[in-house]
């Protein structure tokens, strides 16, 4: 064949194979045999090998993965990947429905969908071609797993059909079907490897493998459930999904539109019984407002959309024997009793241990060694003991006496009147506390140093790192002397430690591990007090006057800085060049002077961009209109209820052009 004929043949084969992939993996209606498919694929592979100038990264031949071992690049989400609020009862769903009706007034419908139990993913397409795949991560940014996702054959690389936006994002859940999971475990056991615990962990773990050819062997699958972008086909969430299905995406056939909460509850009751017949795991139902304009009107909280919620099915429960109780010490010194159980299968996982929380929980359950206990998974994730089968209690069942001394360092335990937990007070010398503080300090939301628990243990056991400040004294010779480290990995760790010196002050403040100071609290404290010196010098009264800082957090900060060792560590961090004061955003402007905005409708730029412009010009955002609202910013398809309410309250109404003039 000449070049022109070869190019045509390659294009034909790619189109044919894409079509057959869609029929097999998405529509479940193959029209050719596996042998015929393999024959076409082999022909395409040979033609591409002979003609490398016709290479296309989205060719069907690229789904097999490769042996290149790459770490994952971090990608910031254009639209944050928020979690959904969870409910466990019909009453909570009815309350959710009531809140919606009070907020939007006009009629609405719900889209009811299965809540797939796997790993969340966000896919990006441009000009009908697959571009990138990013995990949820922390919701703000995730890992680029493009090469691994390309191996999943139900995810189209090239789209076909009408009304495909130039650019868009579609989100879904990557999962491992039951049959694949069973076959994979059988293969692993045959070669002497440990079986995987459950399909969810297998899917998530497979997605993070560094060798995409290994991912391809796992035969992962993916359902898509949420379309995002500037110019979507319709203003209906469910219709957008139906359109996306025509482009080649695998969309669940079990989506149902409910006219009211009673129909939602019928859908939930049906799937609570029928879910065990599915070929994949689900752990609940997701309920969404179907109208996108109404979704926009309802908006978001800091963590969740107000227009969607998930109903979690009741946890499965099993009986097993309590064999013993051991005690774990956390980074804050809290001592947690752990029940060691006779292994039992629960919700697809073999459970051997469960948390008993504290002494009060042990007393409440009247639990004894040798008891037959009821175990379930809270939210089907964390195993917990919920009761004892007294009828099966053996005569020699041993009562549990909570320990008086730390199992790690021997210090006498303390218990505060206002708390249920026991604490080891030896935070300066108790090994698990010291290692826990270092692990917290290097975590992603703190200093984001590229090291794990095993590395911290190795550094600690070798005596190289006894506190967080010691990380900045590490030498190449020390690191490379540890088992598992070679020249490149030692250099990478030192480079990651050096990079952490540029991490913003608020993340460092969180990383110090001050009790009760979470990431959100750290950000607010850093914004108000600016420097570590100001926080250290602040009185209890000054701290409690700060926004969102109560007496408990304030006392904890005072206690932390009254410890000479903590003060010495901070001084060392300062000498090492870390950011111990807040650097204001240079793009920050005060043009909106803390005016409170409510926004509704669609704009020429994304709503997230509008929100960023408001915040970067010192404006504030509110979800609903009230007497405290200063300006109502309207876009196209504005929510009529909000518009009417703004007029009734005489709230000034402005449009996009007016807003842009305000911030010029």
Annotated catalytic residues are 115
Q: State how far the Cα of 131 lies from the Cα of 322, in Å rounded to an integer.
A: 51
Q: Is the dihedral of CA 592, 594, 597, 603 positive or negative?
A: positive
- Torsion-angle region of residue 128: left (phi > 0), alpha (psi -120 to 50) or beta? left
Cβ-Cβ contacts under 8 Å for 190 (sequence gap 6 or more): none
How far does CA 422 lie from the centroid of its chain? 31
Structure tokens given for 239:
């219709």
**CB-based burial of residue 532 (10 Å sphere; 0-12 exposed, 13-18 middle, 19+ buried)?**
buried
**CB-based burial of residue 37 (10 Å sphere; 0-12 exposed, 13-18 middle, 19+ buried)?**
middle
Structure tokens given for 8:
């045509």
Say if strands 129-135 and 119-126 run parallel, antiparallel, or are unpaired.
antiparallel
Find the helix packing angle between 178-190 and 199-207, rounded to 10°: 80
Q: What angle do CA 207, 210, 216 make, to 5 degrees?
A: 55
358 neighbors 421 (Cβ within 8 angstroms): yes
Cβ-Cβ contacts under 8 Å for 207 (sequence gap 6 or more): 119, 121, 135, 145, 148, 149, 174, 215, 220
Structure tokens given for 434:
């010291």
467 neighbors 529 (Cβ within 8 angstroms): no
Q: Is 338 helix (H, G, I), strand (E, B) or coil?
A: strand
**C-alpha distance from residue 375 to each of 200, 272, 652 (Å):** 20, 20, 57
Residue with tokens 């008086």: 404
- Of all helices (H) and strands (E), which one includes residue 256? strand 256-258
289 neighbors 308 (Cβ within 8 angstroms): yes
Find the helix packing angle between 431-442 and 453-461, rounded to 10°: 130
- Of all helices (H) and strands (E), which one includes residue 470? none
Q: State how far the Cα of 43 lies from the Cα of 31, in Å rounded to an integer.
A: 19
Q: State how far the Cα of 443 lies from the Cα of 456, in Å rounded to an integer.
A: 11
Q: State how far the Cα of 330 lies from the Cα of 463, in Å rounded to an integer.
A: 20
633 neighbors 597 (Cβ within 8 angstroms): yes
Say if strands 620-621 and 596-600 run parallel, antiparallel, or are unpaired.
parallel
**C-alpha distance from residue 628 to each of 37, 643, 654, 662 (Å):** 64, 16, 16, 20
Closest to 157 in 3D by CA, of 267, 25, 40: 25
- Of all helices (H) and strands (E), which one includes residue 408? none
Closest to 281 in 3D by CA, of 221, 229, 322: 221
């Amino acid at each position: 064949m000449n070049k022109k004929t070869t190019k045509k043949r390659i294009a034909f084969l790619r189109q044919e194979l894409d079509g057959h992939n869609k029929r097999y993996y998405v529509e479940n209606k193959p029209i050719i045999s596996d042998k015929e498919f393999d024959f076409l694929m082999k022909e395409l592979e040979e033609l591409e090998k002979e003609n490398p100038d016709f290479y296309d990264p989205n060719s069907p031949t690229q789904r097999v993965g490769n042996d290149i071992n790459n770490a994952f690049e971090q990608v910031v989400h254009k639209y944050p990947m928020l979690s959904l609020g969870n409910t466990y009862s019909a009453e909570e769903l009815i309350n959710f429905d009531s809140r919606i009706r009070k907020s939007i007034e006009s009629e609405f419908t719900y889209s009811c969908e299965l809540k797939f139990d796997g790993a969340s993913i966000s896919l990006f397409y441009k000009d009908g071609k697959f571009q990138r795949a990013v995990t949820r991560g922390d919701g703000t940014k995730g890992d680029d797993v493009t090469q691994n996702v390309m191996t999943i054959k139900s995810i189209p690389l090239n789209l076909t059909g009408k009304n495909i936006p130039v650019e868009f994002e579609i989100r879904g859940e990557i999962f491992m079907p039951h049959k694949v999971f069973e076959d994979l475990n059988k293969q692993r056991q045959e070669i002497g490897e440990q079986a995987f615990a459950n399909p969810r962990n297998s899917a998530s773990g497979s997605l993070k493998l560094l060798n995409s050819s290994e991912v391809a062997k796992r035969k992962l699958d993916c359902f898509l459930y949420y379309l995002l972008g500037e110019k979507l086909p319709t203003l209906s969430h469910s219709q957008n999904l139906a359109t996306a299905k025509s482009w080649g995406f695998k969309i669940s056939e079990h989506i149902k539109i409910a006219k009211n909460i009673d129909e939602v509850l019928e859908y939930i009751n049906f799937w609570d019984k029928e879910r065990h017949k599915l070929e994949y795991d689900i752990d609940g139902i997701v309920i969404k407002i179907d109208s996108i304009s109404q979704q926009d009107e309802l908006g978001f909280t800091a963590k969740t959309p107000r227009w969607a919620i998930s109903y979690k099915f009741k946890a499965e429960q099993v009986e097993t024997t309590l064999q013993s109780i051991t005690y774990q010490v956390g980074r804050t010194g809290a001592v947690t009793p752990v029940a060691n159980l006779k292994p039992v299968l629960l919700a697809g996982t073999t459970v051997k241990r469960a948390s008993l929380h504290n002494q009060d929980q042990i007393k409440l359950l009247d639990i004894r060694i040798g008891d037959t206990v009821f175990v379930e998974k809270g939210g089907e994730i964390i195993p917990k003991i919920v009761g004892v089968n007294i009828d099966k209690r053996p005569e020699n069942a041993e009562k549990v006496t909570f320990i008086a001394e730390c199992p790690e360092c021997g210090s006498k335990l303390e218990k505060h009147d206002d708390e249920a937990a026991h604490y080891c007070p030896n935070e300066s010398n108790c090994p698990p506390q010291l290692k826990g503080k270092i692990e917290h300090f290097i975590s992603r939301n703190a200093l984001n140093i590229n090291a794990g628990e095993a590395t911290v243990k190795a550094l600690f056991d070798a005596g190289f790192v006894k506190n967080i400040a010691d990380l900045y004294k590490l030498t190449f010779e020390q690191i490379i002397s540890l088992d598992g480290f070679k020249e490149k990995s030692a250099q990478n760790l030192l480079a990651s430690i050096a990079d952490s010196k540029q991490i913003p002050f608020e993340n460092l403040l969180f990383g110090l591990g001050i009790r009760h100071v979470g990431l959100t609290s750290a950000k607010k404290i850093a914004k108000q007090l600016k420097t570590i010196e100001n926080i250290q010098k602040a009185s209890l009264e000054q701290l409690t006057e700060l926004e969102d800082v109560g007496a408990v957090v304030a006392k904890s900060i005072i206690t932390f800085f009254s410890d000479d060792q903590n003060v010495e560590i901070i001084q060392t961090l300062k000498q090492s060049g870390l950011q111990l004061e807040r650097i204001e955003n240079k793009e920050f402007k005060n043009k909106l002077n803390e005016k409170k905005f409510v926004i509704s409708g669609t704009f020429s730029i994304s709503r997230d961009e509008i929100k960023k412009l408001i915040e970067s010009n010192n404006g504030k955002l509110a979800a609903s209109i009230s007497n405290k609202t200063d300006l109502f910013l309207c876009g196209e398809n504005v929510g009529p209820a909000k518009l009417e309410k703004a007029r009734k309250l005489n709230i000034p109404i402005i449009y996009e052009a007016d807003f842009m003039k305000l911030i010029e």
